[in-house]
Chains A and B, each alone.
Chain A
Amino acid sequence: MSDVTTDLPSYRSLPGWAAPLAVLAVAYGAVPFWGTSYLFEAILLPFLALSLAGLGLNILTGYAGQVSLGSAAFMAVGAFAAFNFNLRIDSLPLIASIVLAGFAAAAIGLVFGLPSLRLKGFYLAVSTLAAQFFVQWALTKFSWFSNDSASGVIDAPPLAIAGFVFEGPIGRYYFALTVVSVLTFIAYRLVNSQTGRNFIAVRDNETAARIIGVPVLTTKLLAFAISSFIIGVAGVLWAFAYLRTVEPAGFNLDRSFQILFIVIIGGLASIRGAFFGAALIVVFPLLLSRLGAFLFGDVFDSGVLDMTQRIVLGALIILFLVLEPDGLAALCDRTRKRIGTALRQS
């Protein structure tokens, strides 16, 4: 615990940007050439959208310490706002629709963040549930949002930027990857700035933060707005790049919890954590279904799978909360350190 910086082993002499750069190089340069369309459709696209949502929630919950159960609502606002901006404003570039959708989600996030000025912890979490139910209700109740489509389900527009259309699984993957990379870089800059310090100050000791001159109320609302912006854009990716349809049902309370679990499992207040957590949440059910089918054959149908998934996931979350509250990110750090020590000793 206390040897955080006492040793700076040689394996860490690589600069901090080396690892992210390597990941980006592989993601852009290698993955598209050997990946199957299953890999993109079933794993990478949902992974990217959920990572971004996890990143957004982590800014609010991990860094600023404000619990929220409304993430899926902000995703829905993003998706439907982007759809409507794109539909109703002629010749608005898609990228502008997406940015405006982010602002729409930020505005809604700001409104539902107002209770945070008075409420804390559990009570705040419950009040953010209001966002979840209200948004879902509004989107189903007013068919205008779905352009009066009978089923409430609508097709996403093509992903075009400056005349170039990102088509097919690989095209959509590139699109999502680029959006996620840009926002992740921005989030990284943010959490390492004075504003990022303010977030943590408010989280760790609100009174002390106020006394040293941190504008506590503004800081909380800013966290809600920025977090909702990012989650809103994640919603656009979920609907436009992954599902290719926009429907309220996909953005229910289950999804909000899923994003919260991503943050808890991946690691609170860690940028990498959101990606680790999302990877686990996306890959884990697929692995489980393969394993189940292999071990039990036909008995392991979708009903059993669903139940097993919930049980194992629940157990996993409890395990993480008890044994590794700092999530996969911390686990990964520790493992690297062990390997480094072992390497130096040999």
Chain B
Amino acid sequence: MNATHAFAGLGATPFPPDIQDHLAGLNFEAAGAEKRKQEAESPVLELSGISLSFGGVAALSDVDLSVRRGEIRSIIGPNGAGKSSLINVISGVYRPDRGEVQIAGKRYAQVPTQKLARLGLARTFQNLALFKGLSVLDNVVSGRAHTFRSTFLGQIAGLGRSRREETDARDRASRVLEFLHLSDLSDRLAGTLPYGLQKRVELARALVAEPDLLLLDEPMAGMTATEKDEMAGFVSGVRDQYGTTVVLIEHDIGVVMGLSDRIAVLDYGRKIADGTPDEIQRDQRVIDAYLGVAAENEDGEGI
């Protein structure tokens, strides 16, 4: 099913993906219908020549990555390969030493983190990043933060706009909680939930922003097989129902092969392969660098 989706995507484009990306990059100033057509087909996200190092450690070296609208794009690789660093570059948490990130046709040397939500990006973190002191519902409501325009005085006084914003945010949050089967836990303090559920609340907080592009850093780490299946169902559900583009980091090869339209493989900060699940599974370099040792990484433990 995923493969069909990928082929459907390819079939609709007049050029092979590489050339198409190139054209999109060249013509992004082009006008009129041509431009709109380009926009519909141009990548949601495009990284070019990204390099990043910490002291002497090269976390990323000259990485290119293109993400098409509506696809589930996975990034895999051994521990320390630079996967999280890449997500941190995309979300502006890190500034790359070289290279640029292109989001919806705009280029950035460093993505402005505080505008991320308004650019249509949402993310989750490898290490939990919930607001422990807020209830589950309030955590998810806070995911609408970028839409609030009312001032604190208006909120204290309970003026019309602030009330409307609050009701709207709560409604949307409740719906997302229902979608992720979390409704019963709405009033619990987020910090008191077991790990797997906290991961799911974090997904809820990202989803409620209704992003075009969702970045998930190991959403299934530390989960049981059942929980993983459930989570995988949510991820593909989000894409299928809302057309959300997903960038997914995951160690569990089985899950990745089942979910992804395209996979990029990182090793020591370099991209060593990029293609459909079938291509990746047959790639000798990937087998040597990663799949060969996949057994050790099954738990998806990481830093």
Could you tell me which A residues sit within 8 Å of B by CB distance? 1-2, 4-5, 186, 189-190, 193-195, 197-198, 200-201, 203-205, 207-216, 222, 226, 269
Contact = CB atoms under 8 A, between A and B. Distances in A.
Contacts of B148: 194
B143 A212 contact: yes
Nearest to B134: A200
A211 B117 contact: yes
Given A189-B156, A193-B156, A201-B145, A211 B123 contact: yes
Contacts of B156: 186, 189-190, 193
A124 B188 CA distance: 32
B138 A197 contact: yes
A173 B133 CA distance: 35
Interface in B81-134: 91, 93, 113-118, 122-123, 125, 129-134
B133 A203 contact: yes
Interface string B42-76: 00000000000000000000000000000000000
Interface string B15-35: 000000000000000000000
Given A4-B189, A205-B130, A205-B131, A194 B116 contact: no
A213 B114 contact: yes
A185 to B, nearest CB: 9
A208 B129 contact: yes
Nearest to B157: A189
Interface of B: 91, 93, 113-118, 122-123, 125, 129-134, 138, 141-143, 145-148, 150, 152, 155-158, 162, 165-166, 169, 187-189, 192, 205, 209
B93 A207 contact: yes
B189 A194 contact: no
Contacts of B165: 194
A201 B192 CA distance: 16
B187 A216 contact: no
A226 B134 CA distance: 21
23 contacts: A1-B192, A4-B189, A189-B155, A189-B157, A189-B158, A194-B162, A194-B169, A197-B131, A200-B131, A201-B131, A201-B145, A203-B133, A204-B132, A207-B93, A207-B129, A209-B145, A210-B113, A211-B116, A211-B117, A211-B122, A212-B143, A214-B142, A222-B152
Contacts of B157: 189
A217 B91 CA distance: 18
Nearest to A208: B129
A211 B92 CA distance: 9
Contacts of A193: 152, 155-156, 162, 166
Contact of A210 (B114, B133, B158): B114
Contacts of A209: 131, 142, 145
B152 A208 contact: no
A205 B152 contact: no
Contacts of B150: 194
A222 B155 CA distance: 14
Contacts of B162: 193-194
A152 B133 CA distance: 45
A182 to B, nearest CB: 12
Closest 9 CB pairs of A and B: A213-B146, A193-B155, A213-B117, A208-B129, A204-B131, A195-B152, A213-B145, A189-B156, A5-B187
B152 A212 contact: no
Contact of B134 (A4, A189, A201, A216): A201
Contacts of B169: 194
B72 to A, nearest CB: 21
Contacts of B141: 197
Contact of B133 (A195, A222, A226, A269): A269
Contacts of B146: 212-213
B187 A212 contact: no
Given A195-B155, A200-B133, A212-B205, A5 B114 contact: no
Nearest to A188: B156
A2 B165 CA distance: 31
Nearest to A62: B133
A159 to B, nearest CB: 26
Nearest to A198: B145
A294 B252 CA distance: 71
A118 to B, nearest CB: 16
A1 B188 CA distance: 11
Contacts of A226: 152
A201 to B, nearest CB: 5
A213 B209 CA distance: 10
B76 to A, nearest CB: 23
A127 B148 CA distance: 32
B131 A208 contact: yes
B122 A212 contact: yes
Contacts of A222: 152
A230 B192 CA distance: 32
Contact of A211 (B91, B130, B158): B91
A195 B134 CA distance: 13
A204 B142 contact: no
Contacts of B145: 194, 197-198, 201, 209, 212-214
Of the listed residues B117, B148, B166, the one surrounded by the most CB atoms of chain A closer than 10 A to its CB is B148
A213 B123 contact: no
A7 B162 CA distance: 32
Nearest to B118: A213
A157 B112 CA distance: 52
A121 to B, nearest CB: 17
Contacts of B158: 189
Contacts of B188: 4-5
A205 B91 CA distance: 15
Contacts of B147: 213
A148 B122 CA distance: 59
A177 to B, nearest CB: 21
